[in-house]
Amino acid sequence: MTEKVFDFRSDNVGGVAPEILDAIVAASTGTAAPYGDDEFTRRMVRRFGEVFERPLQVFPVATGTGANSVALAALANPYGAIYCHETAHINVYECGAPEFFTGAKLVGLPGGDFKLEPAALEEALSLAGRGNPTRVQPFALNITQPTDFGTLYTVEEIAALTSVARRHGLRVHMDGARFANAVAALGCTPAEMTWRAGVDVLSLGATKNGAVNAEARSRRAFPGTTAGCSTVAIFFR
């Protein structure tokens, strides 16, 4: 008897979900307008609005790195600083792309269980030299949920971090490559883990939930359709 083997390297080493492939085939009939002016894009935006329980803007992109870079570029200026955990995915695995596309500096902070801690964030922001023209200025906070080591921020921990960020005028980005895993593990709703806890922008992984990688971007961004995508950047505010 062959022993069953489980592959935990990454969700995206597996195949595409059959339902998604069927949907792509079904969407490939007829015609659809470009630049996001099509029924598929409108349906997608409506569906995400239902899932997250509020109006929002959705921008499908080709990769998770692309989604993080697009999201952070909307939050930080070239002379700014983006605070994250020292082991955050954007700081370790994205080959400098967030800094290249934003022009901002990533500032990695320590924290137990590979998670940011409110006290450490508060101290770093208090010593950031806001207003000093020789220092990068704080603009954004990044939270990786779950972390690359599988640990989770509770909804309360997210709210505590975003509260510190708000006091210092920062906007908050969540890197949610495995966001669905976190929702399932914590038993909360997508809304509770994001905008209700103070998150402004979410990069939501699709490939790690059975989608197929394809270049696709949404309205108010770049031309394209939304038949398939790797990750979407969701703006709540």
Q: Which residues contact 220 (CB under 8 A, 6 or more apart)?
A: 36, 57, 59
- Written in H, E and C, the secondary structure of 79-140 is CEEEEEECCCHHHHCCCCHHHHHHCCEEEEECCHHHCCCHHHHHHHHHCCCCCCCCCCEEEE
Closest to 200 in 3D by CA, of 80, 75, 109: 75
Residues 96-115: tens digit of each pLDDT: 999 999 999 999 999 999 99
Dig out the tokens for 100 from the structure: 């290249």
Q: Which of 40-54, 113-127, 208-222 has the lowest mean pLDDT?
A: 208-222
Query: Please, what are the domains in the chain?
Result: 33-235 (3.40.640.10)
Q: What is the average pLDDT value for the chain, to the nearest integer?
A: 87
Residues 153-191: tens digit of each pLDDT: 999 999 999 999 999 999 999 999 889 999 999 999 999
pLDDT at 227 over 90: no
Burial 128-140 (b: 16+ CB within 10 A, else e): beeeeeeebbbbb
Q: Which amino acid, 137?
A: Q
